[in-house]
Structure 1
Amino acid sequence: MVTNILVTGATGNVGQEVVRLLSLQELPVTAAVRNPIEAAKSFGSNVRCILFDFTNPDTFADAFAGINKLFLVRPPAIANIHKITPALNAAKRAGVEEIVFLSIIGADKNRIVPHYKIERAIEQLNISAIFLRCSFFMQNLNTTHREDIRLRDRLFMPAGNGRTSFIDVRDIAAVAVKILTEVPDKSKGELSRNRAYDLTGTVALTYYEVASIFTTVLGRQIQYTNSSIPIFVWQMLRQGFSWQFVLVMVGIYTTARYGLADLVTSNVHQLLEHIPISMQQYVEDYRQCWLCLQPIAVG
């Protein structure tokens, strides 16, 4: 049977890489996006792009038609689980047999984060589910925090002295593709595959150590400001981020601040049979993102 895979969040950090890897393997992959015409220009002819919006049920039927596996990414702007469950129910009705959900470490115990409720909602569907519970994405540093590093030479987050087991989204995507393309071994009773993997890098770093790596690679001093939570919230809102997004970020950084983000596992190494990408390698690979000839003063 041909496996048809739908990827939500297909233009985001992880989703885009998942689509790219599936496309390289010439596997049937559909990118669920808000603007199919623009997405098609980026993905090329090997990727089918279709209109999909979690808040618009009229887009569900066409998106899920003929799909048997779903790579699910929560839209950053949606924290209310009730805006996501209609799509999940539609996926099951359409015949989706398996959901691989991009979750976060500790989601099974942290009832505050929306990922906890999404995991519970998926379990209630009674279909195969795999939760990829990931540590903090390295790529948040070249997206959400890019301008602070590029223009102000600082890592600005309220993570205290806590350690974080950062992971590169390229490793996450590779794990997701491996799982999405697996064929269950019926002789081993692998028909029901409800699993969860904690995905991390090989070491937990403080943000002071991360700043030191940036300083070495970029050749200029990058400082970790160790912001307070109120100041972080005020600055992020001032930069135009939504309340919902900022609160999720506060939750993640508070986890690090209290020493709850330092878990290191060997799951990536075992699944991919190679050592996870290091912070040093990540910064070197993305170095161009933070180059700035004339940094501005911190305001």
Structure 2
Amino acid sequence: MTILVTGATGNVGRQVVEQLVKRGADVRALVRDPAKANLPPGVNVVQGDLLDVDSLRSAFSGVSTLFLLNAVVADEFTQALIALNIAREAGVERLVYLSVIHSDLYVNVPHFAGKFGVERMIEQMGFNATILRPAYFMNNDLTIKDVVSGYGVYPMPIGGKGLAMIDARDIGEIAAIELVRRDKSGASLPPDRINLVGPDTLTGAKAAAIWSEVLGRTIAYPGDDPAGFEKNLRQFMPSWMAFDMRLMSERFLTDGMIPNAGDVERLNTLLGRPLRSYRDFVSEITASA
């Protein structure tokens, strides 16, 4: 039984691969450049691209279960649908898909709407699937560590509703647990959706307060400025992507990323331990500076 992981060298995909290896799974990783993959020993690394049908057909040969992760790119929806169709052609019935929380609520945000469309196609195509819906990744805040420490501000416009931030390591472990559960099941398991959230729902002010406590000095939250956020992002990403991120941040302000009742308890039970907290994450990344 072989589990194919797409996006295997990214923040989440790498965690999924490592957790699957720990569980003794037969892992195949789809990557663009095998020479740079640097994945654990024993992983079958194959070269391919989600728009290259021939490489996908080769990668899917003999696969029993798929972990589908699509990067936020302009043709994300097309990539996902091609992968799903090739999977079905290859006889793959078991699937774990990394979507996003509130994909059905943030309907004007391109990459949210795209992931919700993929969820619908997974259902209509009849896959034996778990859909994982993660909230904001704590790990995104690695990119702002120097801004926080250097300028004394927490710059992410996350608002006052709150985001249930989750550590990518927890996402990877939960994904691996679900992949192994489906891969080893002798019978077809019912479809499932799991909100992936952290133990705390953090506002901008609360996130700044945690940084203040960890660093031992005041870190301010300057307020909610999606337009300024877009402007900053355009310095290092395409304009369409920066605008997509702005639209997302606007929904942070109006809706937040709020867990449903029982989400945290379900994940703690699934992991057999408490979810990692944002405070512990900040302490870890500042200690390693």
Q: Same fold (TM over 0.5)?
A: yes
Per-residue deviation, 1:242: 2.1
Q: Deviations over 1:246-286 (max 9, x none)?
A: 23322332222113312252321131232211111111222
Query: Match for residue 177 of structure 1?
Result: 176
Distance of aligned partners of 1:78 and 1:216 in 2 relative to their CA distance in 1, 3 Å threshold: same
Gaps of 5+ in 2: none
Amino acid at match of 1:236: L
Q: How many residues align?
A: 281
Q: How does 1:55-204 map to 2 (within 5 A)?
A: 55-112=51-108, 113=112, 114-143=114-143, 145-149=144-148, 151-182=150-181, 191-204=188-201
Once residues 185 and 80 of structure 2 are traced to their aligned partners in structure 1, the CA distance between those partners, rounded to angstroms, is: 31
Once residues 50 and 194 of structure 1 are traced to their aligned partners in structure 2, the CA distance between those partners, rounded to angstroms, is: 29
75-84 or 9-18, larger mean C-alpha shift: 75-84
| Kept after mapping to 1: 8 A contact 2:159/2:256 | no
Q: Deviations over 1:52-84 (max 9, x none)?
A: 212222321121111111111111224541243
Q: How does 1:16-35 map to 2 (within 5 A)?
A: 16-35=14-33
| Kept after mapping to 1: 8 A contact 2:163/2:257 | yes
Once residues 8 and 154 of structure 1 are traced to their aligned partners in structure 2, the CA distance between those partners, rounded to angstroms, is: 36
Query: Match for residue 45 of structure 1?
Result: 41
Distance of aligned partners of 1:66 and 1:154 in 2 relative to their CA distance in 1, 3 Å threshold: farther
Aligned residue among 10, 17, 22 for 1:12? 10
Once residues 32 and 152 of structure 1 are traced to their aligned partners in structure 2, the CA distance between those partners, rounded to angstroms, is: 40
240-249 or 5-14, larger mean C-alpha shift: 240-249
Does residue 254 in structure 1 map to residue 253 in structure 2? no
- Percent identical among aligned pairs is 29
TM-score by length of 1: 0.86
Query: Match for residue 230 of structure 1?
Result: 227
Distance of aligned partners of 1:148 and 1:57 in 2 relative to their CA distance in 1, 3 Å threshold: farther
Distance of aligned partners of 1:46 and 1:154 in 2 relative to their CA distance in 1, 3 Å threshold: farther
Distance of aligned partners of 1:288 and 1:95 in 2 relative to their CA distance in 1, 3 Å threshold: farther
| Kept after mapping to 1: 8 A contact 2:200/2:278 | no
Distance of aligned partners of 1:148 and 1:241 in 2 relative to their CA distance in 1, 3 Å threshold: farther
Aligned residue among 203, 207, 211 for 2:208? 211
Per-residue deviation, 1:35: 0.7
For residue 163 of structure 1, give the secondary structure of its aligned residue in structure 2.
coil
Distance of aligned partners of 1:83 and 1:177 in 2 relative to their CA distance in 1, 3 Å threshold: closer
Q: Deviations over 1:154-174 (max 9, x none)?
A: 322332322111111111111
| Kept after mapping to 2: 8 A contact 1:111/1:117 | no
Per-residue deviation, 1:288: 4.7
Q: Deviations over 1:103-160 (max 9, x none)?
A: 11111344332211111122232121111111111111114x3453354443223323
| Kept after mapping to 2: 8 A contact 1:26/1:46 | no
Query: Match for residue 278 of structure 1?
Result: 277
For residue 90 of structure 1, give the secondary structure of its aligned residue in structure 2.
helix
TM-score by length of 2: 0.88
| Kept after mapping to 2: 8 A contact 1:4/1:67 | yes
